Structure 1
Amino acid sequence: MKKLFFLCVAGIAFTLGTIGIFVPFLPTTGFYLLTSFCLLRSSEKHYNQFVQSKYYQSYVVDLLINKNISTKGMVRMFLLMGVVFALPIVIVSAAWLKWMLFGIYLAHVIGLTWYFKFHPKKKVVVKRVFSDKA
């Protein structure tokens, strides 16, 4: 029953997300994220396959949970963020908005540097999504 519910919600979310590509007021990304969430919850096999994939292990577990990032990786991350923030800074004409965007970028650099390099690492307990069948 639970599997069927998640599959139905995933189908509806995928349909709405696809319609959202063409209709401006529907949030495509949100519906696609809901689709992936529901599909992963509908099948233990797919969940385990996703969690054990090399991309999940390198980008989620290694980076966000274990906080293993090299200085070169951080510099590359901040350069890419700089490009993303520089585009609106160049386009916008209001000086106060340029300074605000620069301040937000600087806050990201300071906050992420503190988080990845100085924030204490926690022992993370992996929680099982699927319970053992009784």
Structure 2
Amino acid sequence: MTEDLQQQRNPLLRGVLIAVGWLSVVLGVIGIFLPVLPTTPFLLLAAACFMRSSRRFYLWLVNHRQLGPWIVDYLQGQGIPLKGKVYAIGLMWLSIGVSSYLVPLFWARAFMLTSAVLVSLYILKQKTLPPPMQR
């Protein structure tokens, strides 16, 4: 996975990719705690930006104890852990439910609920990562 890193030689573009990568990492981490933000797409974007700009940051991200498995398992087509699916869908619906209750605008409620349904369907359609083997 790390052998095909093609780093950008243009310093301006490299700087932009690094900045977008770190912004994506921050948004992905926030998404872990705020289910309205998706975690995996931001971390995948960060990995793509780092892959093209900084080998050191890319390796840090994919080898990170907490963030790395989200990226590596997904990129290798292994799927999403069942616990992750339950956590993501449950917290998303909790936050969308509270937000829909607090926001009086019909169009905003409709948008939030439609988004929640679509994201739930997407998560449910993803392959479920088998549990690790017990020794």
Higher relative helix content: 1
What is the TM-score with the length of structure 1 in the denominator? Answer: 0.48
Q: Which structure has more RCO (C-alpha within 8 Å, separation ≥ 6)?
A: 2
